[in-house]
A = this chain, B = another copy of it.
Amino acid sequence: MPIYNAPNKDTQFILHEVLNISGSDIPGYSELEPEFTGAVLEEAGKIATNVLHPLNVVGDTEGCRLENGVVYTPTGFKDGFAQMKEGGWTGLDMPEEYGGQNMPYVLGTAVGELFSASNQAFTMYQGLTHGAASAILAHGTEEQKNTYLPNMVSCEWTGTMNLTEPHCGTDLGLMRTKAEPQTDGSYKISGQKIFISAGEHDMADNIIHLVLAKIVGGPEGIKGVSLFIVPKYHVNEDGSLGERNGATVGNIEEKMGIHGNSTCVMNYDEATGYLLGEEHKGMRAMFTMMNEARLGVAMQGLAQADAAYQNAVEYAKDRLQGRAVTGTENPDGPADPLIVHPDIRRSLMDQKSFAEGARAFVLWGATMIDKAHRSGDKDADGLISLLTPVLKGFLTDEGYDMTVKAQQVYGGHGYIEEWGMSQYTRDARIAMIYEGANGVQALDLVGRKLAQDGGKHVMAFFEMVKTFCKENAGQNEAYDKAFIEPLKAASKDLQSAGMYFMQEGVKNPNNALSGSNDFMHMFGHVCLGLMWAQMAKAAQETLDGGTSDKEFYEAKINTGRFYMARRLPATALHLARIQTGANTVMALEAASF
């Protein structure tokens, strides 16, 4: 049975010593004092460790079951969900008028990591609900908001997002689900949607489906797509539940992982739907919360990596195998623990330096979303829009790799389901795919975000890195050498890649797009390099000021030194690849593959 401990000490360090959130002028941030966030994280950590984590293996082993149109969730999920609702966790960052607690998104994200790490499949039920509720909040009429939000904020009702159809995923313009206008202003929705997470289950009284469909007679392609609210049960005027709507589950998918979440084929058979937002502006309505949703998936990459890492550390300390090459370290035992071996260390340091760096990156991203939403800051909105594909693509690709590394520490036991390490990799795998496959993230970054607003946001990013380096160089030689210099070099690589895209992409866009995956990864490394430079600086300041917890801060600096020395130089390889352009990538005829 795997372990899970909420990494709250690290989260608190990032929130308060690195991001200094309670000192920020973002509305709502002044309340986020260390004592307060500490208390919230502690309670959330208890739920994660005591309620969600024990259900993680159960969910994986049992999976969901479809019988006569009813989906049964794994044993214990219903009780666990009730505890989440009782604790008010489902509406932490939702408006008070609908029953939420109106906390900033950054706190929701910090808490969300604990839930996702302890049970990703379970946490998706409320995660999808949060996404659907956010779309209604942004685009719904007063009546729609009043009808749906209170029950969605409390998760008495859950929500879903219906985009994909069997023949189209990324290219939603091809969709066939249609909406026929009715005289009463509603629509009849007909079509099939697939990969609908939490599409049907037994944990809520009602399910509010948000469904993309084309209004009959509307424009062709993506410009004719609208968004509809399709409740599983009709809602009467008094708020009570009425008849069943024509939205039914056709099947649940057998998947590689996240077995505890029901992934449904949903059939809409003249189901009554209500337009959400404007006609033919469905993509905009669906994607309003895209930055948030994608940051949420980025957080899942971090969460699974950290949970797997925690177990790898335990095993490496516990399992006795071989002797340290530099001399026996456990003379009373039959062998030394795995953790003495340099290659095991290398793997654990890869994992640790990723998880802590990623946590900072995700929380920093969440503050930008708050700044954009709560302060209406356009620059923050532009920057997070630029960084969203980096967060999602880089952290889920790397997060998956880290779960594979954690599994590898276990040797043969990593391959056996009994030890639980296989589940981390199988669950983490989905985050590279959903909410826009990572190849699409890279395309979004290079094909769209780089040039957005005339390249203003990427220039601002480089300026920010430059300013940071300038302001913090020249005070501590060791710090300059370990942090500032590698960050400068990596940032320069990234700029060179951007320059290459500008120059060569004009000649042939494939020269840019062939390097999109590399660019996304090098951008991610630069961001983590920046996070580490900031964290090391904060840690050094605390050490210089005197602390009773030297070990934590010294480990922080040493972990950062590892990242800068061993991981960040990957930018040079990505740049070298990018600069070869489309030439070798596009050379073959399709028939030659």
List residues of A whose CB falls within 8 A of some B CB.
164, 167-171, 174, 194-195, 253-257, 263, 313, 316-317, 320-322, 325-326, 334-335, 337, 339, 341-349, 352, 400, 404, 407-408, 411-412, 414-418, 422, 425-426, 429-430, 432-434, 437-439, 442-443, 447, 508-510, 513-514, 516-517, 551-552, 554-555, 558-559, 561-562, 565-566, 569-570, 572-573, 576-577, 580, 582-593
Q: Which residues on the B side are within 8 Å of A586 (C-beta)?
A: 342, 345
Contact B348 A171 (CB under 8 A): no
With A171-B321, A254-B416, A335-B171 in contact, is A569–B573 under 8 Å at CB?
yes
Bound: A55/B107 CA distance, A: 50
Count chain B CB atoms within 10 A of each CB in A194, A253, A321, A418 and give the residue with the most: A321
Add 13 more A-B contacts to A174-B335, A342-B514, A562-B585 (CB < 8 A): A169-B411, A255-B422, A325-B513, A341-B443, A342-B585, A345-B586, A352-B593, A404-B429, A407-B429, A408-B433, A408-B438, A565-B577, A572-B576
Query: Could you give 5 example pairs across A and B, Cβ below 8 Å?
Result: A170-B322, A342-B514, A345-B585, A426-B426, A569-B576
With A343-B442, A439-B344, A587-B561 in contact, is A253–B573 under 8 Å at CB?
no
Contact B582 A566 (CB under 8 A): no
Contact B432 A408 (CB under 8 A): yes
CB proximity of A579 to chain B, nearest CB, Å: 9
Contact B559 A588 (CB under 8 A): yes
Considering the complex, give the chain B residue whose CB is closest to the CB of A571.
B573
Bound: A554/B588 CA distance, A: 9
CB proximity of A554 to chain B, nearest CB, Å: 8
Task: From B334, B430, B585, give the contact of A566 (CB < 8 A).
Answer: B585
Q: Which residues on the B side are within 8 Å of A552 (C-beta)?
A: 592
Contact A443 B343 (CB under 8 A): yes
Bound: A565/B580 CA distance, A: 7
CB proximity of A426 to chain B, nearest CB, Å: 7
Contact A415 B256 (CB under 8 A): yes
Contact B562 A255 (CB under 8 A): no
With A415-B429, A422-B256, A509-B326 in contact, is A558–B584 under 8 Å at CB?
yes
Q: Which residues on the B side are within 8 Å of A321 (C-beta)?
A: 168-171, 174
CB proximity of A485 to chain B, nearest CB, Å: 13
Q: Which residues on the B side are within 8 Å of A583 (C-beta)?
A: 561, 565
Bound: A570/B171 CA distance, A: 34
Considering the complex, give the chain B residue whose CB is closest to the CB of A430.
B415
Q: Which residues on the B side are within 8 Å of A337 (C-beta)?
A: 590
Contact A584 B411 (CB under 8 A): no
CB proximity of A192 to chain B, nearest CB, Å: 14
10 tightest Cβ-Cβ pairs between the two chains A and B: A555-B592, A342-B513, A256-B422, A562-B584, A558-B587, A254-B417, A171-B321, A342-B514, A573-B573, A565-B580
Contact B415 A255 (CB under 8 A): yes
Bound: A426/B407 CA distance, A: 13
Task: From B334, B411, B510, give the contact of A170 (CB < 8 A).
Answer: B411
Considering the complex, give the chain B residue whose CB is closest to the CB of A194.
B412
Contact B513 A341 (CB under 8 A): yes
Contact B585 A346 (CB under 8 A): yes
With A509-B326, A510-B326, A566-B584 in contact, is A590–B317 under 8 Å at CB?
yes
CB proximity of A259 to chain B, nearest CB, Å: 11
Task: From B325, B342, B554, B589, give the contact of A551 (CB < 8 A).
Answer: B589
Contact B429 A411 (CB under 8 A): no
CB proximity of A205 to chain B, nearest CB, Å: 29
Q: Which residues on the B side are within 8 Å of A349 (C-beta)?
A: 584-585, 588
Q: Which residues on the B side are within 8 Å of A322 (C-beta)?
A: 170-171
Count chain B CB atoms within 10 A of each CB in A352, A438, A508, A580 and give the residue with the most: A580
CB proximity of A130 to chain B, nearest CB, Å: 21
Q: Which residues on the B side are within 8 Å of A418 (C-beta)?
A: 253-254
Contact A339 B593 (CB under 8 A): yes
Task: From B343, B561, B582, B584, give the contact of A517 (CB < 8 A).
Answer: B343
Q: Which residues on the B side are within 8 Å of A320 (C-beta)?
A: 167, 171, 174
Q: Which residues on the B side are within 8 Å of A348 (C-beta)?
A: 593
CB proximity of A261 to chain B, nearest CB, Å: 12
Contact B432 A412 (CB under 8 A): no
Considering the complex, give the chain B residue whose CB is closest to the CB of A400.
B404
Bound: A429/B405 CA distance, A: 11
Q: Which residues on the B side are within 8 Å of A566 (C-beta)?
A: 577, 580, 584-585
